[in-house]
């Protein structure tokens, strides 16, 4: 299996539009997500993306080597980290399973979390789902990272073509959101732990709780980081769709279509996550490609003028062609991310659905039947919030991506309607429009479902109906 590794962009040197020196391939190769790369690949990441990758790396979800650079970190698959990840998660899983078995063996009377056969069953399911998700996350991490490194080249090529720049403010905001979510989750986990430890203290089993559940709580962290990693990856791709739309709007402005208003003169620079493919390697590959792609294939579409205003450096017709190429490449990236995170995402969705059915039920029963355990009430409420939050962490970035995809459709429509019917432009736009009809911008993990807001709506609808039935029946059962 020959993996085309090269085709990087000399992002740093700000090549002129006339100067085509090898940094050409605008569109990455379609490669099988499942292929193993023979050589280590490298990629420069910065900002929030580097931050989440470092955290992921600590939890075994990103077995990467980080080398500090001026612009960020060069990352590459590291075998040592792979081994670390596998050992870490294996130990945690074994701990958790042993803890679970110990807790079940202790019997219904002494256990604080499993005070009946039913809660033994529910508790076991809960633990197994977390183990499964974390396992799917960590054991699949090397392959996922390898894929990530590959599609980051597509993403970096978009950055080069569009002339995008790094926005420190957005970066910091994203890091803040990330830290806030993690802090909230840590507080919740700590509180949950304390609650059961306090309960167990009455029967002097608090240390058993600590030893039996420590693995479980740490695996919860792995699951959470995995979700955040997916969310950041999806947000990073979405920022490129935004950039392509910005470039489309700029093209529209350039050909005097008065309908477009670029939201902000610096909008093309809002890149939440910095990615740059390294250019040193694979010069041979590139030269090979230069043979097949003559010089006109130079990828740069937009460059900042001296005044700070972005402007087109190619004719509109050519810009449209290249933007269509970039859009196709990004669609492909979306497809591959969906494949990479397929199994963990499906497990996460199912577990969220189950949790969203069970947790509010306990909460509402606690409110209606007995309202004196205020700590338990708060805890259950926080878990409800967490599960809803988890669902949104997964779905919202996908929703934003879909929205950008729809915006592209709107912009292409508008360009089609308004361009004069002569020249190459209409035919290029027609091609783009047909491409948009055939390729959808959506995450479909394992082809099971589309991650979007209607999925949230149907999950919430199912949960609501279910709760209403339960409460209605409960009432007549009293």
Q: Which of positions 438-467 make contact with a copy of itself (CB under 8 A)?
A: 438-439, 446-449, 452-454, 456-457, 460-462, 464-466
Dihedral of CA atoms 83, 89, 92, 98 in degrees, nearest 10, equals: -100
Shortest distance (Å) from residue 44 CB to a copy of itself: 23
State the burial class of residue 414 (Cβ atoms within 10 Å of its Cβ: 0-12, 13-18, 19+).
Answer: middle
- Comparing CB distances to a copy of itself, the nearer of 188 and 470 is 470
Angle at 86 between CA 81 and CA 89, to 5 degrees: 120
Reading the block at residue 336, the tokens are 């591959």
- Comparing CB distances to a copy of itself, the nearer of 214 and 354 is 354
The answer to whether the CB of 428 falls within 8 A of the CB of 321 is: yes
Task: Mark residues 302-321: x for contact with a copy of itself by CB under 8 A, - for none.
Answer: -------------------x
Query: Does 180 interact with a copy of itself (rule: CB under 8 A)?
Result: no
The answer to whether the CB of 198 falls within 8 A of the CB of 235 is: no
Q: Segment 237-276, which members bind a copy of itself (CB under 8 A)?
A: 256-261, 263-264
Candidate ranges 144-152, 216-224, 233-241, 435-443; the one touching a copy of itself (CB under 8 A): 435-443
Query: Does 468 interact with a copy of itself (rule: CB under 8 A)?
Result: yes
Query: Does 284 interact with a copy of itself (rule: CB under 8 A)?
Result: no
State the burial class of residue 146 (Cβ atoms within 10 Å of its Cβ: 0-12, 13-18, 19+).
Answer: buried
Shortest distance (Å) from residue 182 CB to a copy of itself: 27
What are the angstrom distances between the C-alpha of 235 and each of 92, 228, 395?
Answer: 30, 10, 11
> Given candidates 335, 355, 387, 390, which one binds a copy of itself under the rule CB under 8 A?
335
The answer to whether the CB of 5 falls within 8 A of the CB of 41 is: yes
- Comparing CB distances to a copy of itself, the nearer of 89 and 255 is 255
Q: Segment 63-122, which members bind a copy of itself (CB under 8 A)?
A: 116-118, 121
Query: Does 128 interact with a copy of itself (rule: CB under 8 A)?
Result: no
- Comparing CB distances to a copy of itself, the nearer of 211 and 464 is 464
- Comparing CB distances to a copy of itself, the nearer of 289 and 382 is 289
Shortest distance (Å) from residue 438 CB to a copy of itself: 5
How many residues are given for the chain? 478
Shortest distance (Å) from residue 87 CB to a copy of itself: 31
DSSP 187-244: HHHHHHHHHHHHHHHTTT-HHHHHHHHHHHHHHHHHHHHHHHHHHHHHHHHHHHHHHH
User: Residue 66 phi/psi, 5° resolution?
Assistant: -110, 125
- Comparing CB distances to a copy of itself, the nearer of 35 and 90 is 35
State the burial class of residue 207 (Cβ atoms within 10 Å of its Cβ: 0-12, 13-18, 19+).
Answer: exposed
Q: Which residue has the tokens 């579409």?
A: 301
Task: Mark residues 7-46: x for contact with a copy of itself by CB under 8 A, - for none.
Answer: x-----------------x-xxxxxx--x-----------
- Comparing CB distances to a copy of itself, the nearer of 56 and 452 is 452
> Given candidates 42, 49, 205, 428, which one binds a copy of itself under the rule CB under 8 A?
428
Dihedral of CA atoms 228, 231, 237, 242 in degrees, nearest 10, equals: -120
Q: Segment 354-373, which members bind a copy of itself (CB under 8 A)?
A: 354, 357-358, 361, 364, 367-369
Q: Which of 296, 53, 270 is nearest to 152 (CA)?
A: 53
Q: Which of 255, 386, 229 is nearest to 320 (CA)?
A: 255
Shortest distance (Å) from residue 103 CB to a copy of itself: 16
- Comparing CB distances to a copy of itself, the nearer of 61 and 293 is 293
Query: Does 402 interact with a copy of itself (rule: CB under 8 A)?
Result: yes
Query: Does 385 interact with a copy of itself (rule: CB under 8 A)?
Result: no
- Comparing CB distances to a copy of itself, the nearer of 86 and 376 is 376
Shortest distance (Å) from residue 107 CB to a copy of itself: 14
The answer to whether the CB of 419 falls within 8 A of the CB of 255 is: yes
- Comparing CB distances to a copy of itself, the nearer of 29 and 90 is 29
- Comparing CB distances to a copy of itself, the nearer of 188 and 358 is 358
- Comparing CB distances to a copy of itself, the nearer of 210 and 257 is 257
Query: Does 292 interact with a copy of itself (rule: CB under 8 A)?
Result: yes
Shortest distance (Å) from residue 83 CB to a copy of itself: 29
Q: Which of 121, 131, 392, 411 is nearest to 259 (CA)?
A: 411
Alpha helices in 255-341 (DSSP H): 283-292, 316-340
State the burial class of residue 180 (Cβ atoms within 10 Å of its Cβ: 0-12, 13-18, 19+).
Answer: exposed
Shortest distance (Å) from residue 117 CB to a copy of itself: 5
Helices (H) and strands (E) in the chain, counts: 12, 6
Query: How crowded is the C-beta side of 332, counted as CA atoms within 13 Å?
Result: 22
Query: Does 283 interact with a copy of itself (rule: CB under 8 A)?
Result: no
Q: Which of 444, 447, 453, 463 is nearest to 352 (CA)?
A: 463
| Site size toward a copy of itself, by CB under 8 A | 95
């Amino acid at each position: 299996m020959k993996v085309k590794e090269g085709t990087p962009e000399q992002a740093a040197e700000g090549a002129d539009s006339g100067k085509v020196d090898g940094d050409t391939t605008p569109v990455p190769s379609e490669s099988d997500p499942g292929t193993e790369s023979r050589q280590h690949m490298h990629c420069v990441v910065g900002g929030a993306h580097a931050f989440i990758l470092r955290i992921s790396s600590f939890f075994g979800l990103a077995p990467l080597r980080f080398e500090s650079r001026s612009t960020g970190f060069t990352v590459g698959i590291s075998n040592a980290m792979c081994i670390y990840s596998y050992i870490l998660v294996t130990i945690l899983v074994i701990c958790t399973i042993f803890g679970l078995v110990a807790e079940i063996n202790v019997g219904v009377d002494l256990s604080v979390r499993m005070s009946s056969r039913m809660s033994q069953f529910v508790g076991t399911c809960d633990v197994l789902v977390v183990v499964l998700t974390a396992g799917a996350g960590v054991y699949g991490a090397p392959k996922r990272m390898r894929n990530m490194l590959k599609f980051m080249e597509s993403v970096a090529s978009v950055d080069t073509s569009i002339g995008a720049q790094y926005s420190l403010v957005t970066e910091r905001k994203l890091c803040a959101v990330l830290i806030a979510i993690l802090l909230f989750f840590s507080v919740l986990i700590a509180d949950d732990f304390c609650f059961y430890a306090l309960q167990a203290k009455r029967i002097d089993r608090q240390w058993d709780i600590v030893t039996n559940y420590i693995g479980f709580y740490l695996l919860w962290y792995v699951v959470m980081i995995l979700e955040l990693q997916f969310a950041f990856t999806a947000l990073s791709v979405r920022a490129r769709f935004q950039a392509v739309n910005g470039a489309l709007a700029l093209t529209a402005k350039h050909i005097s279509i008065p309908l477009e208003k670029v939201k902000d003169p610096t909008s093309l620079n809002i890149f939440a996550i910095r990615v740059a493919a390294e250019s040193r390697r694979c010069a041979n590959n590139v030269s090979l490609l230069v043979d097949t792609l003559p010089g006109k294939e130079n990828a740069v579409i937009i460059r900042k003028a001296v005044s700070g205003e972005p402007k087109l450096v190619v004719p509109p017709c050519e810009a449209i062609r290249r933007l269509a190429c970039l859009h196709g490449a990004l669609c492909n990236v979306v497809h591959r991310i969906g494949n990479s995170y397929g199994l963990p995402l499906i497990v996460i969705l199912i577990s969220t659905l189950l949790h969203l059915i069970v947790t509010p039920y306990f909460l509402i029963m606690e409110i209606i039947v007995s309202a004196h355990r205020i700590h338990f009430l708060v805890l259950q409420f926080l878990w409800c919030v967490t599960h809803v939050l988890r669902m949104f962490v997964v779905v919202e970035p996908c929703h934003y991506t879909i929205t950008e995809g729809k915006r592209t459709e709107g912009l292409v429509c508008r360009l089609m309607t308004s361009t004069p019917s002569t020249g190459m432009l209409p035919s290029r736009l027609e091609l783009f429009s047909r491409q948009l009809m055939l390729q959808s911008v959506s995450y479909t993990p394992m082809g099971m479902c589309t991650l979007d807001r209607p999925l949230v709506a149907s999950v919430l609808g199912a949960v609501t109906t279910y709760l209403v039935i339960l409460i209605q029946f409960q009432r007549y059962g009293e």
